[in-house]
Structure 1
Amino acid sequence: MAKKSKKKQKKPESRWLRRRWLKARYWLRRAAVWAVSFTVLAVVFFAIVNPPITWTMFSEKRRLGHLDHQWTPMEQIAPVMARSVVAAEDANFCLHWGFDVAAIRDAIEDGGGRGASTLTQQTVKNVFLWQGRSYVRKALEAVLTPLVEIGWSKRRILEVYLNIAEFDEGVFGIEAAARHYFGVGPEKLSATQAARLAVVLPNPKARSASQPTARLRRRAAAIMDGAETIRGESRGACFAD
């Protein structure tokens, strides 16, 4: 008579752990799908709608109790201001897809002594993320930057950047900056004024556009030359009128 094969019964603990794992995996997948969907929707949304406030603005408003900011469309910003920012912060803005590989290579060779963030990366950080150095923020920035490059035009990226960048303590955007430093609207900025505004951007709390040091004046002069050089070139074509 053939012996009956006995199936091994799983322990109750094993079945319970398996159910817990399957449930956790299900919710992790759902969370990942929601996170990706929300991110894509946010990028598409701000391609059309102007960001009302950023985390940096919110933090500064809480700290200072006030904020000087007013949105200005690109058409009402002097073209020389756009060229000056590109010359100062990201000369290859029109030529890269969000990351300037050559600048990153130079920064590595320089031992990390210089920055390599593009205007797109800075815009992503200001609109969607927070300030400070951390691997988490850098990783999120690396994911979001190509999405913004795909979903936004170069002109839109520059428009958003000019409207949310900090130019002085509590002064955000080119409208507030132009009036704060020079008493004129952004459409009236001269080449010299635009270069001096661009030169404060890496460190707005420690630099002044209206009272620059001798070193900043030299840097502003170089920015003026760079802005004039890219005028009419391929390096300025992506955001020109």
Structure 2
Amino acid sequence: MQDNETKESEFQHSAPPTAETGNAIPTSEVPSAFDAPAPQPGEMKSRGKKSWAKRHPWLRRMGIAFLIVAGVVLASLVVFRFVNPPITTVMVIEKLRGETLQRRWVPIEKISPHMRLAVIASEDGNFCRHHGVDWAAVRQVLESAKNLEPERGASTIPMQVAKNIYLWDFRSYLRKALEVPLAYAIVTLWPKERVLEVYLNIAQFGPGLFGVEAASRKYFRKPASALTQREAVLLATTLPKPKVRNPARPNRTHRVVANAVQKRLPYIAKRADCVLNP
């Protein structure tokens, strides 16, 4: 009997503490979810990034695609600073339309000063003063639109170079938005003389007809270096509507526009020193 009591006493002392034995369990020994180590700030940030990327994979792909395209464009602009563009998107579009391309590249030294001045007077009077975009002209266009005045353009020569090389020839707000950063990049990477040289060699003067040399030979049977002032003005004022206007046989509207541009030449000559006196 005594042995049984001794064993029972030993069992009670050796048994784990429970509510029945009346022994309280120390709180510090109870495992808790709050005892897990807190994630470090860097770990939480990385988890957030991973979850965001998983939730929006298409945004990540678009970002990568944008960076690749931007890199290719910038690299090509650096190359085109020294190498003539072999073809442009506008030329490709014309080719797809079934037109036979006519073009002949000439350096700016072989383009008549009359032509250089005429195209600035017609297309971009502040060419030597702005850095790619003529915001004063943009404001004038917006004011004209508010007053329901006839539509007028505000595209600078660098913007038109961007359009011809990389974009498309039909109008859209998207194209205009893309022209702005491209124009700034072009003016940053190229001197103004190079900008004008490229423009005069890739601008469209008629269906499938690109470059002032090809246009001069087709319409006036002479090289671009031999253009007179009037011939240069007629060619320059063909650029806004190359598929409608014919500089060799200008209609009444074309002659009126050409006369207005020709009257501006003395004034523009004072502002075109970046290409007339390089």
TM-score range, shorter chain: 0.7 to 0.9
Pick the aligned partner of 2:106 from 64, 72, 75.
72
Q: 1:237 to 1:20 in 2, by over 3 A?
A: closer
Residue 82 (structure 1) aligns with: 116
Q: What residue in structure 1 maps to residue 44 of structure 2?
A: none
Higher relative contact order (CA 8 A, sep 6+): 1
Task: Work out the percentage of aligned pairs sharing the same amino acid.
Answer: 39
Partner of 2:54: 21
Aligned partner of 2:72 in structure 1 is 38
Structure 1 stretches of 4+ with a deviation exceeding 3 A read: 22-33
Residue 47 (str. 1) matches residue 74 (str. 2): no
Partner SS state of residue 98, structure 1:
coil
Name the CA distance, whole Å, in 1 between partners of 2:262 and 2:175. Answer: 33
Among residues 133, 137, 157, which one is paired with 1:103 in the alignment? 137
Task: Using the TM superposition, name which of 59-68 and 187-196 deviates more.
Answer: 59-68
Structure 2 counterpart of 1:172: 210
| Deviation for aligned residue 1:79 | 0.7
> 2:203 is aligned with what amino acid?
A
> 1:68, CA displacement in angstroms?
0.7
Tell me the TM-score normalized by structure 2: 0.77
* 2:148 corresponds to 1:148: no
Cα distance in 1, alignment partners of residues 52 and 120 from structure 2 = 55
Q: 1:110-156 CA deviation, whole Å, 9 max, x = no partner?
A: 11721111111111111111122333322221221111110011111
Letter in 2 for 1:236: A
Aligned residues between the structures: 233
CA distance in 2, matches of 1:20, 1:230: 54
Contact 2:132 2:180 in 1 (8 A): no
Q: Distance in 1 between matches of 2:97 and 2:105?
A: 21
Deviation larger for 199-208 or 139-148: 139-148
Question: Aligned partners of 2:62 and 2:93: how far apart in 1?
Answer: 31
Q: Within the alignment, does 1:187 sit opposite 2:225 as a pair?
A: yes
- One-letter amino acid of the structure 2 residue matched with residue 52 of structure 1: P
Distance in 2, Cα, partners of 1:208 & 1:31: 42
Q: Which runs of 5+ in 1 are unaligned?
A: 9-13
Q: Distance in 1 between matches of 2:78 and 2:256?
A: 40
Task: Return the alpha-carbon distance in structure 1 between the equivalents of residues 66 and 210 of structure 2.
Answer: 34
- The question of 1:238 aligning with 2:274 is answered yes
Structure 2: gaps of 5 or more residues: 1-25, 38-46
8 Å CA contact 1:78–1:187 kept in 2: the answer is yes
CA RMSD of aligned residues (A): 2.4
